[in-house]
Every structure is written in C-alpha cells, then in structure tokens.
Chain A
Amino acid sequence: MPDSTFDRELETLLEYTESPQPEAFTMDVMRSVNREQRIRKLILWTFGLVGALFGLAGAVILSDSITRLFTFTVAMPATETMQVVLFIVATAAFYVWFMNDDLPLDN
C-alpha cells in the first residue's frame, strides 16, 4: 500500500468523531472555574483577615512605644495616633495586595 494512500486513510481513521454534549462539557468546565474562583477568594479573604488581625494586634502592642516618636508633632493621644497610622498603612497594603490579583498580566 503506497504511503500517500495510507496517509489519507489514517487521516480518515484518526479524525475526531463528534464529542457528545459539548454544551454540558462547557458548563462543567465553567462550574469548575467558578468553584476555583470561590476557593481563591476564600483563601484571599481568610489570609487577609488573619493579616488584618495581626496588624491590629501589632498596632495595639506597639502603639505606645512607637508613638513616643510622634507625639511631639501630633495633638492626638499616642495610642490613637498610632492606630490611625497603622490602620491607614494596613488598608493601603491590603488594597494593593488584593487588587494586584486582578492586574493585567504580561502575555
């Protein structure tokens, strides 16, 4: 059997048959993607929350000692001043970290 004929026959033999239920397959994939996204968000929020709690604890623990550096310029009480500063920094850090997940990725 000449090769070219057999090549054509192989093309015929190996060509893909119609895959059943393409819509159902696509829906299954999209469901998996949604589940994946939910899990990703859950992980993100859990770690974010843990991070925020650590930040809060840190703010409470360190506020007294650190605010001594600032009290001469700010009229607010030391603890409150440091809590405000730490809260702003933590919020900014959280925002950057959270939003970074959606930043365009280089192709």
Chain B
Amino acid sequence: MISDMELVALVTSSDDQAAFQLLVERHQAAIRGFLRRLAAGDYGTADDLAQETFLMAYRKMHTFKSTGSFVSWLHTIAYRQFLQFTRKHARQQVMAEPPEQGHDPGQSIDAEILTQRLMAFVSPEERACLTLAYAAGMSHPEIGKVTDLPLGTVKSHIQRGKHKLQRWLKDHDHSISKDKTRTGAAPAKEAHRA
C-alpha cells in the first residue's frame, strides 16, 4: 500500500488529485470523528469543519514536514479550524446541552447521545485532549503538538476531564456497555432524583 508520505509527495510535486483523494478517503473517518467529538454532537458543523480541514491541508500541503506524521498534522489543522470556529461563534450556542441532572433513570440512553452530552460537559481543551488520547490513541507528546499545549497542561486536561466524566457517570450511575450500543442507568440509585 502506498504510504501517506508518498501520496503527499505526489500531491506537492505534480498536484496529483487522485493521490489527494486517496488521502481524504484514508483519513476522513478519523478527522470527522475527532471533530464530531469536539463539536459535541453538532454533526453538521463537524462535517463542515472537516471539509475545511482537508481543503486547508490541500492548500498548505507544501508546508507539511515529512518528519511528522500526516495524520497528526491533519488533526492539528482540524483542531485549529475548530478553535477558529468557536471564536467566531463565541456568542452563539454551538455546543450541545450539558448532561441533564434530572435524567430519567428508568430509560437506557444511547451511548452516542451520552458521549455527546459528556463531551459538552467538559471544556473544549479537555475534550480535545481526551478524544486524541482515547479515540485517536495518541501519546501525550503527540497531543501536545496537535493542540500546541505544554505536556504538563495536556496531562492535567486529561486528568481533569477524566475526573469530571467519571464523577458524572458515577453520580448518574451510568455504565458504559461493551458493545457501546446502549448504556443502562440503574433505576435504584436514580429513582430518588427523578
């Protein structure tokens, strides 16, 4: 299989559109997934930003240094696109609502909806660090490069984000099912909250 570096070289040297299309096909799931987590469920915005990310990557391909990984570089662009978007729309409510305190305990909640709600519960930096660490499987130094944050800050964002999520899940007695299709809520503990 042709490597990312070879495809990048083809795009930069001869403006090979087929090579760029292959790069998009290869990495669209990761970038869209990352931005969906960042946008906390706003899928339309996430996909728009993902499209902008690839367009920016195409424009700036010649600035890509072959010493780094291409997918990390794409994540860096995606994160900056997201930050730019949130700054532009700071006054608008673009994020999903935070998790409800009075969630109906008798009903199980779709894992994807739960994830969106949890993502809205943590700050954008924590969201980015957690997603890159747990979904993209990046190391802490890699996350630091993507987010342009010092290593210590990355670690504290991950720790703080984890504690927030852990606390919320514990308070609401949610368990994360292995198949990630549904997550159950324990009626006994939640009953008095409703």
Which residues of A approach B to under 8 Å, CB–CB? 1, 3, 6-7, 9-19, 22, 25-26, 28-30, 32-34, 36-37, 102, 104-107
Contact = CB atoms under 8 A, between A and B. Distances in A.
B180 A12 contact: yes
A15 B17 contact: no
Contact of B33 (A16, A29, A33): A16
B51 A28 contact: yes
Contact of A26 (B14, B28, B65): B28
Contacts of A32: 51, 54-55
Given A11-B134, A25-B47, A33-B55, A16 B36 contact: yes
B192 interface: no
Interface residues of B, number: 48
Interface in B142-194: 162, 165-166, 170, 176-178, 180
8 contacts: A16-B32, A25-B32, A26-B28, A29-B51, A29-B54, A33-B20, A107-B9, A107-B62
A20 B95 CA distance: 21
Given A11-B134, A16-B135, A29-B24, A105 B12 contact: yes
Contacts of A28: 51
B25 interface: yes
B130 interface: yes
Contacts of A106: 62
Nearest to B112: A17
